């Protein structure tokens, strides 16, 4: 990262409102972004295998140390492509405690999402729960690196080998994170990142599928562009999941700022830790044990008995003070439609998902949030 390319301070529209959001977008080097946009106009090349997307893909590969990164228009379509490119049919095991896109992408592809429970400590899919759900119909395990916490990749991949299953990781939260000394992007058959505006690294809307499998990368590249293998040559089923050039420009203008953004998030997290320390019944999830993470979510769990106020009451209190804290991912996919009404999910008990779903609050962080904002949020939580 170049010290001469400062991260642009976010111009929160304080005149309009003083609302704090969980997902206020990060903005990188705006001068560089504008130069790239000028180049896009000069070339009159807006989408379809353009030079800016190719440059972003190549930079992502270098950053992640992975062979292929296929840029896509969002992670939901990225997941759909991944499920399709791996020729999956039947059942896929997914955590219930995730953004609903993980399950929807499978259901949309005609697969049956089978919901596993998560671990109490880091909220990632529980290998033991996965094991109990594997049947003759199971074709894949889908792990979600929730909040940037890497799944238990060793156990998941051992289970997959034992039962001959594909492994896909929904890495929507985990760009810039590592599992020990290996960057997320290098695990399973492929990993799908989200570059949505609310993510630590964004391309307005977008995503990428990372893989070390040459053949899979080729299939994904064809499938994201209608199945074309060259001009006028359609070799199979495809869709339109291409990333436009202007989105890739946004990504390129953020790449030089990654370390700075991570550091900012880490600093914010430390401030939250300091301000919330000692509050009985409040647990702040930490990533201190991880070698590298993006710190993009500040997640607390509220134990109503000990804290004295319920999670939902606290959310109301925060919202009343213009702090748009979120109940991600309440109430768990198995309690959302269309899954809730499916016979297999009626009466399904996922104790950790349910306990966590009732307790979690995500707090504002990122480059739009400063020290005074964090103090303000923590004062509301403390009831001051
Ligand atoms: N897998 C996982 C595990 C995911 O978390 C996600 C997405 C996906 C897959 C699918 O990725 P994509 O297909 O989206 O690439 C938001 C995001 O839309 C979604 O991308 C994200 N996860 C999810 C966790 O959060 P909502 O429904 O919370 O969005 P919304 O509009 O309420 O925005 C969140 C907050 O951010 C609000 O307080 C407003 C603020 N915001 C939002 C936007 C778009 C801004 O300040 N500026 C903005 O431009 O889903």
pLDDT surpassing 70 at residue 11: no
Q: Report the pLDDT value the prediction gives residue 189, as an integer from 0 to 100.
A: 98
For ligand 1, whether the C-beta of 99 sits within 6 Å is: yes
| CA 335 to ligand 1 center in whole angstroms | 20
- The token pair that represents 355 in the structure block: 């306990």
- The confidence band for 276, taking pLDDT boundaries of 50, 70 and 90, is very high
Residues 170 and 98 sit within 8 Å (Cβ to Cβ): yes
Smallest CA separation from ligand 1 atom 33, residue: 23
Mean pLDDT of the 90-112 span: 98
State the closest ligand 1 atom to the C-alpha of 328, by its place in the atom list counted from 1: 24
Instruction: Quote the ligand 1 centre to 146 CA distance (angstroms).
Output: 14
Question: CA-CA-CA-CA torsion for 174, 125, 273, 313, nearest 10 degrees?
Answer: 110
Q: Where are the beta strands (DSSP E) in the chain?
A: 20-21, 68-72, 91-95, 112-116, 138-144, 166-170, 178-179, 182-183, 190-194, 207-211, 282-284, 298-302, 323-324, 360-363
Distances (CA, A) of 347 to 6, 89, 125: 53, 25, 20
Rounded Cα distance, 80 and 212, in Å: 19
% residues pLDDT > 90 (the chain): 93
Give me 139's structure tokens. Answer: 């074709």
> Which residues are registered as beta bridge partners of 8?
none
What is the per-residue pLDDT across 163-194, written as a single tens digit (0 to 9) for each? 999 999 999 999 999 999 999 999 999 999 99
pLDDT greater at residue 288 or residue 358: 358
Average pLDDT over residues 93-113: 98
Pocket test for ligand 1, best of 11, 23, 353, 361 (most atoms within 8 A of CB): 23
pLDDT at 12 > cutoff 60: no
Ligand 1 atom nearest the C-alpha of 76 is 13
Burial 150-187 (b: 16+ CB within 10 A, else e): bbbbebbbebbeeeebbbbbbbbbbbbbbbeeebbbbb
Count the residues in the chain: 384
For the Cβ of 101 lying below 6 angstroms from any atom of ligand 1, the answer is yes
* Token duo for residue 361: 């609050």
Q: What is the pLDDT of residues 41-76, one digit of tens each?
A: 999 999 998 999 999 999 999 999 999 999 999 999
For residue 92, what are the β-bridge partners?
A: 113, 140
CB of residue 182 inside a 6 A radius of ligand 1: no
What's the gap in Å between 193 CA and the centre of ligand 1?
13
Q: Which residue has a Cα nearest atom 3 of ligand 1? A: 99
- Expressed in angstroms and rounded, the spacing between residue 199 Cα and the centre of ligand 1 is 7
- Reported as a single tens digit per residue, the pLDDT across 330-348 is 999 999 999 999 999 999 9
Strand order in the sheet with 282-284: 282-284, 298-302, 360-363
The tens digit of pLDDT for each residue in 229-272 reads 999 999 999 999 999 999 999 999 999 999 999 999 999 999 99
pLDDT on residue 384: 83
Q: What is the pLDDT, as a whole number, of residue 4?
A: 40
Query: Residue 17's pLDDT band (boundaries 50, 70, 90)?
Result: low
- Phi, psi for residue 211 in degrees, rounded to 5: -155, 155
Mean pLDDT of the chain: 95
Question: How far is ligand 1, taken at its centre, from the CA of residue 160, in Å?
Answer: 30
**Is 198 or 288 the better-scoring residue by pLDDT?**
198
Cα(78) to centroid(ligand 1), Å? 15
Residue having the nearest C-alpha atom to atom 49 of ligand 1: 197
Question: What is the spatial distance between Cα 119 and Cα 139, in angstroms, rounded to a whole number?
Answer: 22
CA distance 236 to 253: 35
- Look at residue 7 in the predicted model and tell me its pLDDT: 52
Q: Is 21 in the pocket of ligand 1 (CB under 6 A)?
A: yes
Rounded to the nearest whole angstrom, what is the distance from the C-alpha of residue 195 to the centroid of ligand 1? 10
How far apart are the CA of 334 and the centre of ligand 1, in A? 20
- Residue of 192, 198, 322 to mutate, ligand 1, most atoms within 8 A of C-beta: 198
In this model, does residue 16 exceed pLDDT 80? no
Please give the pLDDT value at position 291.
87
Atom of ligand 1 nearest to the CA of 205: 15
> pTM for this one?
0.96
Question: What's the rounded mean pLDDT across residues 212-240?
Answer: 97
Stretch 20-28: mean pLDDT, rounded?
A: 94
Enumerate residues 6+ apart whose C-beta is below 8 A from 358. 311, 330, 331
- 218 has pLDDT over 80: yes
CA-nearest residue, atom 11 of ligand 1: 75
* Predicted pLDDT at 288: 85
pLDDT interval class at 14 (50, 70, 90) = very low
């Amino acid at each position: 990262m170049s010290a001469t390319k400062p991260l642009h301070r976010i111009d929160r529209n304080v005149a309009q409102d003083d609302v704090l959001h969980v997902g206020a977008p990060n903005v990188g080097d705006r001068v560089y972004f504008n130069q790239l946009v000028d180049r896009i106009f000069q070339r009159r090349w807006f989408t379809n295998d353009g030079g800016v997307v190719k440059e972003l893909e190549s930079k992502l590969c270098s950053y992640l140390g992975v062979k292929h990164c296929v840029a896509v228009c969002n992670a939901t379509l990225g997941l759909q492509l991944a499920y399709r490119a791996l020729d999956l049919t039947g059942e896929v095991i997914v955590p219930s405690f995730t953004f609903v896109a993980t399950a929807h992408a499978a259901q949309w592809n005609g697969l049956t999402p089978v919901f596993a429970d998560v671990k109490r400590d880091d909220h990632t899919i529980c290998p033991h729960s996965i094991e109990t759900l594997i049947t003759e119909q199971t074709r894949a395990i889908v792990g979600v690196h929730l909040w940037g916490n890497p799944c238990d990749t060793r156990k998941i991949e051992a289970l997959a080998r034992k039962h001959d299953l594909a492994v896909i990781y929904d890495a929507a939260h985990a760009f810039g994170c590592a599992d020990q000394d290996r960057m997320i992007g290098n695990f399973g058959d492929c990993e799908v990142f989200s570059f949505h505006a609310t993510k630590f690294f964004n391309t307005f809307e977008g995503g990428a599928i990372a893989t070390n499998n040459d053949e899979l990368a080729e299939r994904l590249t064809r499938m994201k562009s209608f199945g074309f293998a060259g001009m006028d040559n359609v070799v199979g089923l495809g869709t339109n999941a291409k990333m436009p050039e202007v989105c890739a420009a946004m990504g390129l203008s953020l790449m030089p700022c990654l370390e700075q953004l991570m550091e900012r998030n880490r600093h914010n997290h430390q401030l939250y830790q300091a301000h919330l320390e000692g509050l009985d019944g409040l647990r702040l999830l930490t990533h201190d044990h991880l070698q590298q993470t993006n710190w993009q979510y500040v997640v607390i769990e509220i134990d109503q008995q000990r804290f004295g106020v319920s999670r939902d009451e606290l959310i109301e209190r925060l919202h009343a003070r213009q702090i748009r804290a979120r109940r991600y991912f309440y109430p768990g996919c198995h309690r959302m439609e269309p899954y809730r009404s499916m016979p297999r999910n009626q009466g399904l008990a996922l104790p950790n998902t349910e306990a966590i779903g009732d307790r979690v609050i995500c707090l504002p962080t990122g480059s739009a949030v400063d020290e005074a904002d964090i103090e303000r949020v923590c004062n509301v939580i403390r009831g001051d």
